[in-house]
Amino acid sequence: MRLSDASLAIRPRPPWEACDLGVLLARRHAGVLMASWAALTLPLYGLLTLVLWDQPSLAFLLFWWLKPLYERLPLFILSRALFGEVPGVRQSLRALPGELKAQLLPSLLWRRFSPVRSFALPVQQLEKLSGQARRERLALLLQRDGAPASWLTIVGMHLEMALWLGLLGLLYLMLPAQVELAWSWQDLLGLTSDWLWIEHLSNLLYVLVLIVWEPVYVACGFSLYLNRRTQLEAWDIELSFRRLRDRLAAALPILLASLCLLLPGPGGTGLLQAAESEPPFATESAAAPAFSRAQARERIGELLQQPPFQNRETVTRWRLESAAEDEHDGSGLLERLGRLHRLWQSLDGVALALEVLLWTGLLLSVGWLLWRYRAWLQAFGLRRRAQAPAAGRPPAQLFGLELAPESLPADPAAEAARLWDSDPRAALGLLYRGMLSELLRQRRVVLRASDTEGEVLRRLEQLREPDLQAFAGRLTTLWQNLAYGHRAPPTALREPLCSEWTRLFGRGVQA
Amino acid sequence: MPRSPLALLDNCHRVETPEGIDLVLKPAGLVPRALAFAIDLVLRAAILLVLGSLLAMLGQFGAGFGAILLFVVQWWYMVLFEVLNQGRTPGKQWLGLRVVHDDGTPVGWGASLVRNLLRFVDLLPFGYLFGALSCLAHPSFKRLGDIAAGTLVVHRERPAAPPALPEVAPEAAPVRLTLDEQRALIAFSERHAGLSAARREELAGILAAPLGTPPALAERRLHAIARGLLGQA
């Protein structure tokens, strides 16, 4: 074992920190630890399940009981990985039989329930101690920091349980509703013998949980063990001392050579004299103090009493004498009880008051929230409402055409058909005005008094009614030709236009 | 097999301040945190049980107040303790833990609220499955709430009285020593009571030759140098 090869920062730590370091250790080698654990336990679990198919609980119990057997594998890997040579999965599995030989029976029988299982494992597996020697060693190691090792096991038990239930819960959440239904029916009918595999599945989940947790558990125990030995044997100091010795050994020839060159005097060539010519900074503080500890303390005390540190002053002034306390003796006890009872009853009043206060607070805070976010609400919440008032005030005129419903005949299409031959301008105008008026009234298109004919058509696109769009386009073109170009509409269009108008907008404005 | 070039494994979370000072935080792992949580859980249950049974005698007022109490204990216990008690709930205090921001500053309202509200994500799907897995897998042992809030649960440094050094006359170090070497020398002197005599001799023996001291006297010499380094007359 060469400490300088260790892949851990070696120093004595508080026990919980040592435990955390174990988690980090397991995390760094998680791949090989979990893979080898899975390669060992999954086939074993499969075998147990096959043999004990009818007794899932027994299979589970056996698998659980054999845990100390598997725990030797992670410890083997970790003890190698600590000094930088991480074994592969195959290599570790091949080494396992050798690791299992030592004290397998005690591990599986009376030491199975030791609360410091993972902490004690390195003593028997790595130090290969047994019997009295092991007992003494453990007693020494457990003198301090034994509690965290036990707590580690206890927390581990609960964590296994929590993770297992968590996985079961996850699985249950993933079940489709139908399966759940069938399951409960099967239970009701007592056909559960077919559902053994559910129990085996839940056992399997436990095996999966162990793949994650057990390497961490072993690593934490190992790390606690290492930490205790670091404390007992001062590994960190040994490391530093060795480094210092190596440094000095490397520097010594140079020092000697420079000495011979610079100081050819009769002085000895020992390292001590060489170094005394340049005193290290740390020794100055040792040489400097002119007074002893007690004196220094005294002077510090004096300094602390002076103004910048303390300002004590005595203030004397007049004040009123407090009123004499009225004193009740034992006779007041009954009265007090009565008062307590009354207080008891008055509490309902307090409850009411509190309720009122709470409701007021709730309302106030809701009001405040509304007021605080009024801009946001206006921007997003009230968009629909914002459109309504605009549509409520339609322009009465568009490009000089009267649009108010009162200005139109009851049935514009019929009226237009009647006027078509005698006065095509009036007839087409009637149709067009009728269309605009109906757009405003029925379809609630938002038109402004400043819109042109083309803009009206573009606004119609938002309605997504292709029929209306086409009709409006045709009518607008005809109307523009007639109004601005004085070109009369073809007579053949009378019937289709009027019937289309009626189909789209219904019969009559007031109808 | 060639040595992996990985850095030495250590349980440190280093934060560099703008002044270039390294603050070393020690993140706390799953086991102490789980214990702290268990203590808090028991404490909360006790509070609810005691106050709840007291309030049950107060009729309607008690019921209403009990509901408020339940809310406060359930949602604000952790937050209030963390923010007002230097990041320590009673359970964390017991275990010597505290919550800080990622940069080591004391935890504030926002971060504490986030990490404790997201506790309910860590709880999913049952029994802290996600939280435990995240805590095991994260290099600084963060659960999901900690990742979201940018907080860290660290071990508190407990001030310890400096142990007494052996009574020897102080002596100047014969060579210039680096900070680490000075620390090792002082640690040797401070921890000598916990080491066996044989081990002390073995350790001191390492430095006997470079110091030019006979191995039997090396230990005494090291103590003297340590006293000199500490400036203890």
Contact call for residues A102 and A125 (beta carbons, < 8 A): yes
Nearest residue to B189 via CA among B216, B159, B207, B166: B166
Cross-chain Cβ contact A286/B132 below 8 Å? no
User: Tell me: the pLDDT tens digits for B131-156?
Assistant: 999 999 999 999 999 999 999 999 99
**Test the B interface: residue of A140, A283, A354 with most B CBs within 10 Å:** A283
Antiparallel, parallel or unpaired: β B151-155 and B22-25: unpaired
Neighbours of A84 (CB within 10 A): 15
8 Å CB contact between A16 and B35 = no
Of A315-329, B29-43, B115-129, the range with the lowest mean pLDDT is: A315-329
Is residue A317 situated within a structural domain?
no
Supply the pLDDT for residue A511.
Answer: 39
Whether residue A379 is found in the same domain as residue A436: no
Q: Does residue A304 lie in a domain region?
A: no
pLDDT digits (tens, 9 = 90+) for B85-107: 999 999 999 999 999 999 889 99
Nearest CA in chain A to B131: A163
Choose, out of A29, A159, A172, A237, the residue to mutate when testing the contact with B (most B CBs < 10 Å): A237
Residues of the domain holding A470: 394-505
pLDDT of residue A275: 40
**Is A176 a domain residue?**
yes
pLDDT band at B6 (very low <50, low <70, confident <90, very high): low
Beta bridge partners of B98: B154
Residues 162-201 on A with a CB inside 8 Å of B are: 162-163, 165-170, 173
Give the gap in angstroms from C-alpha A13 to the nearest C-alpha of chain B.
10
Q: Which of B64, B128, B155 has the CB atom closest to A16's CB atom?
A: B155
How large is the ipTM?
0.91
- To the nearest whole number, what is the mean pLDDT of chain B? 88
For B34-83, the pLDDT digits (tens) are: 999 999 999 999 999 999 888 888 777 888 888 888 999 988 999 999 99
Average pLDDT over residues B149-169: 87
Does one domain contain both A33 and A44?
Answer: yes
A372/A500 same-domain check: no
Instruction: Tell me which of A206, A221, A238 is where a domain ends.
Output: A238
Lowest mean pLDDT among A2-6, A378-382, B214-218, B228-232: A378-382
A95 and A116 in a single domain? The answer is: yes
Average pLDDT (A318-339) is 68
User: Which pair of tokens denotes residue A209?
Assistant: 């949980």
Note whether A212 contacts B136, CB cutoff 8 Å: yes
Of the candidates A170, A252, A348, the beta carbon closest to that of B59 is on A348
Give the residue from A128, A120, A123 showing the smallest Cα distance to A98. A128
Query: Tens digit of pLDDT for each residue in A198-240?
Result: 888 889 999 999 999 999 999 999 999 999 999 888 889 998 9
A346: confidence class by pLDDT, cuts 50, 70, 90 = confident
CB–CB of A289 and B199 under 8 A?
no
Angstrom distance (rounded) from CA A276 to CA B174: 6
Measure the CA–CA gap between B54 and B66, rounded to whole angstroms.
9
In this structure, are A499 and A365 located in the same domain? no
Q: Test A252 with B136 for CB contact under 8 angstroms.
A: no
- Which of A393, A414, A437 is a domain's end point? A393
Q: Is A14 on the interface with B (CB under 8 A)?
A: yes
- Distance of alpha carbon A126 from alpha carbon A389, whole angstroms: 87
Most confident of A17-21, A181-185, A243-247: A17-21
Q: What are phi and psi of B209, to 5 degrees?
A: -65, -50
My answer on whether A367 and A496 are in the same domain is: no
Same domain, A9 and A148: yes
The pair of three-digit structure tokens given for residue A421, joined into one six-digit string: 């031959």
The answer to whether the Cβ–Cβ distance between B8 and A170 falls below 8 Å is no
pLDDT at A276: 40
Do A215 and A74 lie in one domain? The reply is yes
Domain boundary among A374, A393, A412: A393
- Beta carbons of A241 and B95 less than 8 Å apart: no
B173 vs A contacts (CB less than 8 Å): 280, 282-283
Q: What is the DSSP letter of A378?
A: I
| Cross-chain residue pair B129–A236, CB shorter than 8 Å | no
Of B11, B172, B196, the CB nearest to A286: B172
Of A153-162, A401-410, A487-496, the poorest mean pLDDT is in: A401-410
CB pair distance less than 8 Å for B11 and A21: yes
Tell me the one-letter amino acid at A77. I
Domain count, chain A: 3
CB pair distance less than 8 Å for B8 and A347: no
Q: Each residue of A96-143: pLDDT tens digit?
A: 888 888 788 888 888 888 889 899 999 988 888 888 888 898 998 888
**Could you tell me if A405 and A377 lie in one domain?**
no
Range A150-157 average pLDDT: 94
Question: A198 and A66, same structural domain?
Answer: yes
Same domain (yes/no): A364, A406: no
CB contact under 8 A, A20 and B229: no
Q: Are residues A366 and A475 in the same domain?
A: no
Direct distance between the N- and C-terminal alpha carbons of chain B, in angstroms, rounded to an integer: 51
Question: What percent of chain A is helix, strand and coil (3-state, nearest 5)?
Answer: 75, 0, 25
pLDDT digits (tens, 9 = 90+) for A26-47: 999 999 999 999 999 999 999 9
CA proximity to A77, closest of A119, A114, A126, A10: A126
